Structures are given as C-alpha cells and as structure tokens.
C-alpha cells in the first residue's frame, strides 16, 4: 500500500492529551470528515447497510481510530466484532503510517455462537502478532471496546459520545487515578478542560481509506480451483469484492491473465 493518504480525502484530526495528576491518556476527535469519505465510498460501490448496522460500524471506526492514536505508530490493528442479534460481523482495521482506517459489515456466512465476540489482532514489525478474543453481550460497540481493554489490554478505558460526531477515549496509564477514571460520566466531559490539567502530546490524522485495488485482490483468485475460476469469468468478467472495505471491482478476464503472466515473470 502507498505510504500517504489520497489527497482527495478529508482526514480527521485526532489529538492525544495527558491528564495530569490523573495519569490518564485522552484521545479525542470529531469524526464528521471521516464519515463523509465513508459515505462517499458506500455510494461509489453501491453498498447499503441497515441504519442500525451503519451506526455501529461508524462507532467501531471511531473507536479503532482513537485506539490507534493511543498506540505506537508502527502498529496495525484489526477488530472483528461478531454479533449474534442481529447476526453479523463488523470488521474494522487500520494503522498510523499512514493514518488509514477502513471497515465493512458481513451478513452472509456469519458463524453462529453462544455469545457476542470481540476478536482483536495486532501486528507490529519485529514483534509477534497478538490475538485476543473477548466475549460480551449487546450491541453497544463502546461497551465492547471497553471490555476488550479491561480483559485483553489489562487497563481500564472509557469511551464517550459527544454531540456533532465527536468521541473521547480515556485510557489508564501507570499509577492511574482509577476511582476518577471509573467515576467519569457524560456530565463531567464539558467541564474537563476547566477542572483538569491537560498537556497536549501529539496530533495525528486519519482518513477512511482501504488502499485496495483490483491488482491487490487478484491473489485471492489464484487460490481458487480452475473450474471455479472458469465459472467466475463465464461472461468474460469477474466481480471481486474487497474483504476489508467491500469495494467492488468488475475486471475483464484478459486483465487477470495479464496480471498472472506479469506475476509469474
């Protein structure tokens, strides 16, 4: 993937702050610009989600972005959130170099389970890939993310919804004032900057972008048996859907064959 965002995107500005005396990291941002690009992506590829599922995916994208801003810049993270009612998978992924997040919803061939599951995978150069699975119940993605932090990251985290698609995430640091963090409510947020000492740590930018292309998806076709490939290209074209963002590519068989020859040379 390219190491810079598409210049046509409207990245969201995410600021991280240290809450002094409380030893808490605060990451916050208004996600309206990122959601504009998200909806443009849906329109471009003819993707439609149910309203409730759309809202959950948007909040999962926000939580992932705030999570990335609080993590080392060379980490890549992916979350699969398996919901049983309604039965679907929410998938979000991203990284900070460049600041890119994307995601989609799966409603077909979703595994039925006894409970909802939050599945996280984190990779970083020269580090072993980490995976964790946390069980939860309900459709509140912020509650699920907080439980993931509590059980997998082993540090309390609180997520808050503010007006105008603004979200804040508070994450415990060493020697955190846990009673203060656990006692935060929506009523405390408007007064926070007045009553607490905040030190700006850094500003990062994230856009809704997958970075996929038809050439990057062709390796998926090479795993298929010859008979399946023949059926996919039966009318001379194949419809390929990106597993990360649900982008749809209609590609001629001749282009795929040219790619195969180039890859083999």
pLDDT tens across 129-156, in order?
Answer: 999 999 999 999 999 999 999 999 889 9
Ordered by where they begin, the domains of the chain are: 12-208 (3.55.30.10), 214-264 (3.90.1280)
Q: What pLDDT score does 258 carry?
A: 92
Quote the pLDDT of residue 1.
42
Please enumerate in sequence order all residues whose Cβ is within 8 A of that of 46, keeping only pairs 6 or more positions apart, or say none: 248
Asked if 222 and 19 touch (Cβ cutoff 8 Å), the reply is no
Counting as low any pLDDT under 50, the low residues of the chain are: 1-2
What pLDDT is stored for residue 3 in this prediction? 60
User: What is the structure's pLDDT at 216?
Assistant: 92
Give the 3-state secondary structure of the chain: CCCCCCCCCCCEEEEEEEECCCCEEEEEEECHHHHHHHHHHHHHCCCCCCHHHHHHHHHHHHHHHHHHHCCCCCCEEEEEEEEECCEEEEEEEEEECCEEEEEEEECCCCCCCCCEEEEEEEECCCCCCEEEEEEECCCCHHHHHHHHHHHHHCCCEEEEEECCCEEEEEEECCCCCHHHHHCCCHHHHHHHHHHCCEEEEEEEEEEECCCCCHHHHHHHHHCCCHHHHHHHCCCCEEEEECCCCCCEEEEEHHHHHHHHHHHHC
Residue with tokens 């990245």: 11
pLDDT tens sequence across 91-102 = 999 999 999 999
Nearest Cα residue to 250 out of 233, 227, 231: 233
Question: How much is the pLDDT for 265?
Answer: 80
Q: How far apart are CA 203 and CA 209, in angstroms?
A: 19
Confidence at residue 65, expressed as pLDDT on a 0 to 100 scale? 98
């Amino acid at each position: 993937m390219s190491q810079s965002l598409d210049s046509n995107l409207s990245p969201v500005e995410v600021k991280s702050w240290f809450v002094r005396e409380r030893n808490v990291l605060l990451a916050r941002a208004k996600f309206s610009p990122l959601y504009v690009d998200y909806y443009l992506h849906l329109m471009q590829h003819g993707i439609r989600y149910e309203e409730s599922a759309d809202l959950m995916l948007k909040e999962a994208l926000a939580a992932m972005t705030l999570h990335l801003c609080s993590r080392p810049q060379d980490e890549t993270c992916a979350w699969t959130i398996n919901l049983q009612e309604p039965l679907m998978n929410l998938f979000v992924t991203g990284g900070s170099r460049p600041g890119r997040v994307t995601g989609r919803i799966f409603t077909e061939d979703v595994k039925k389970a006894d409970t909802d599951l939050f599945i996280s995978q984190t990779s970083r150069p020269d580090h072993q890939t980490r995976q964790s699975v946390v069980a939860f119940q309900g459709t509140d993605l912020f509650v699920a993310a907080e439980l993931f932090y509590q059980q997998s990251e082993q540090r309390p985290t609180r997520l808050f919804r503010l007006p105008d698609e603004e979200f804040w995430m508070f994450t415990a640091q060493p020697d955190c004032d846990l009673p203060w963090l656990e006692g935060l409510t929506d009523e405390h947020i408007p007064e926070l900057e007045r009553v607490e000492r905040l030190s700006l740590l850094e500003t990062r930018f994230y856009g809704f972008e997958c970075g996929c292309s038809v050439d990057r998806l062709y390796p998926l076709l090479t795993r298929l048996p010859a008979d399946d490939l023949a059926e996919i290209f039966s009318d001379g074209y194949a419809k390929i859907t990106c597993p990360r963002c649900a982008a749809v590519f209609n590609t001629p068989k001749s282009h795929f064959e040219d790619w195969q020859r180039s890859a083999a040379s």
